[in-house]
Chain A
Amino acid sequence: MTTASVTQNFQGSRSLPKWLAPTLLAVAILASFSINSALASSNPEATQLNLFAVALVAVITYSIGFYLASRIIEGQRKSADRLVTILVTGAFALAVIPLISLAWTVVERGAARFDMEFFTFSMRNVVGAGGGAYHAIIGTLEITGLATLISVPIGIMTAIYLVEYGRGALARAVTFFVDVMTGIPSIVAGLFAYAAFVLIFGPGVRMGVGGAIALSVLMIPVVIRATEEMLKIVPNELREASYALGVPKWLTVTKVVLPTALAGIATGVMIAIARIIGETAPLLIIAGFTASTNFNPFDERMMTLPVFVYTSYANQGADAQTYIDRAWTGALVLMLIVMILNIIARLVSKYFSPKG
């Protein structure tokens, strides 16, 4: 035979027509709308249509209809694919909707007091309207900064020990205690710091640095874990290449291994900071709360943003709404600080990661 006959071996089943998905969606929304209206009119207590219920019923109706249509037209394999796509998209939406809702609520309610006064005034002698979180922002930045200064060297050096040097019982014990530390409730960390400071300074002590130490207890294991993972993925070939050039081990670690892992370590540190910057309970115990600005973390009470939010909400004064407004703005500022830190971490990992 000189010309082969054309076979149909690879032709698939029919696929869904393009108009089906939008039509189905429109039908689902209409159906859901009418069902919900009917229910609302039969229920005298319902004053208005519940939009959330409309959307939920519409999405479920649409998903089931789409799956059945695919099953009938396209066959089992493709309909299974469509079903899983619907489930995965649904799971993603479930995860993201609360996040968007939370961010939106904080921005919406925090905007009322997002003004210069909030960033330049403390709460000293403020009753009712006005005032700001200047003292709390200072406190949060100082205490978190101190906690980072304490935790990052300890965390990175511990991780270097575990990955590059640790063998045998001591390394296993360190790993075990790091795991235990990861699970310490934050209130226990606060009580630990308080107890330690009471031993030195006597009962009733309040200090910003105590808060930093409590936060370090929470931060160190996070830094160790993140750094450990980053050091482990540095290829062993690079260490061997360095040894083979006659470079001693400590220089290999500091000049080959650490720079290679730097981007990942920086990201890990930022995540650890984001993890502790919103801690309330330990700071409530050891750093206390105050209405005045205090720059010295080694003396007297220090306000922090999470504690500011908590006390504004818990101890509302005469003009309650102004306290609630301040609490929301405090939460908004805290979120913005974490966001800025995340952007910095992104930039660091972009500029420091190995190129090529």
Chain B
Amino acid sequence: MSMRIELSSLNVYYGSFLAVEDINMVIEPNSITAFIGPSGCGKSTLIRTLNRMHEVIPGAYVKGNLTMNGEDIYSPSVDPVKVRRQVGMVFQRPNPFPTMTIKENVLSGYRLNNNKMSKSDADALAEKALKGANLWNEVKDRLDRPGSSLSGGQQQRLCIARAIAVEPEVILMDEPTSALDPISTAAIEDLAIELKEKFTVVIVTHNMQQASRISDMTAFFTIADTGLPGKLIEYDRTDNIFSNPKEKQTEDYVSGRFG
């Protein structure tokens, strides 16, 4: 299961402020797409529009078209809660629920929605999701310990397990490794590559080596100046972006002369 995401003439607003302007791109299924660009260029804003988390902020809204497998997710008849059940998200800082154990955290997508499941189903699902997040071997003996008792890297993989447990079609990762050490980062990167077998993966990163290591496609965003909207400068296969960019701005950024 995975989805093809199409953005056309997408404008993203915070109140009257236009944060991201006129985005046109196609995100292919079963691939990793990386968003790169300087701080404040709207990458995080854009990724949050893909599961309608953007509109959680008061006054924020979107204009334009965003379809998943051809279905407009911003059509008035669409329930944002249903979109978020199909599009999972991993945040910059690990955020396991502090009142829940490791196992309850993994199952939280079901439990919080009042879905009942038998104990054996729950155990099987927790094991599957934790194995999918490469965390099972580290936590299998302490599933009833609080989620916050894990290290930062383990917590982040716990959050990934939580996101894949509900079997979404798309996984969004907003700078998932920026708060982690190199070893935990490598673990998450390996995991992301495994995840693209089943899901469409979109990742925002400040780390260009990371983008070149794991992504199939890379989108470069930038802003002309503070207060102006972020724009998509170039979107291409990752090796083209890093070795043979078409735009001067992209070349400057990936070679470290800018931003």
Contact = CB atoms under 8 A, between A and B. Distances in A.
B162 A245 contact: yes
Contacts of B58: 167
Contacts of B66: none
B89 interface: yes
Interface stretch (B91-99, B116-124, B251-259): B91-99
A171 to B, nearest CB: 12
B97 A246 contact: no
B51 interface: yes
A356 B147 contact: yes
Nearest to B52: A243
B146 interface: yes
A245 B56 contact: no
B68 to A, nearest CB: 14
A245 B98 contact: no
B108 interface: yes
Contact of A240 (B95, B113, B166): B95
A244 B147 contact: no
Contacts of A167: 58
A246 B84 contact: yes
A32 interface: no
Nearest to B166: A245
A245 B109 contact: yes
Contacts of B163: 244-245
Given A244-B89, A245-B88, A245-B109, A356 B98 contact: yes
Interface residues of B, number: 33
A260 B96 CA distance: 12
A247 B149 CA distance: 24
Given A245-B162, A245-B166, A256 B53 contact: no
A240 B91 contact: yes
Interface string A250-262: 0110011001101
B85 A240 contact: no
A237 B148 CA distance: 14
B112 A240 contact: no
B248 interface: no
Nearest to B51: A244
Nearest to A251: B112
A255 B114 CA distance: 10
Nearest to B162: A245
B97 A356 contact: no
B149 A238 contact: no
Contacts of A235: 95
10 interchain residue pairs of minimum CB distance: A246-B85, A356-B148, A354-B98, A356-B146, A244-B89, A237-B95, A246-B84, A245-B109, A247-B112, A259-B99
Interface of A: 167, 235, 237-248, 251-252, 255-256, 259-260, 262, 354-356
5 contacts: A167-B58, A240-B95, A246-B85, A246-B86, A247-B109
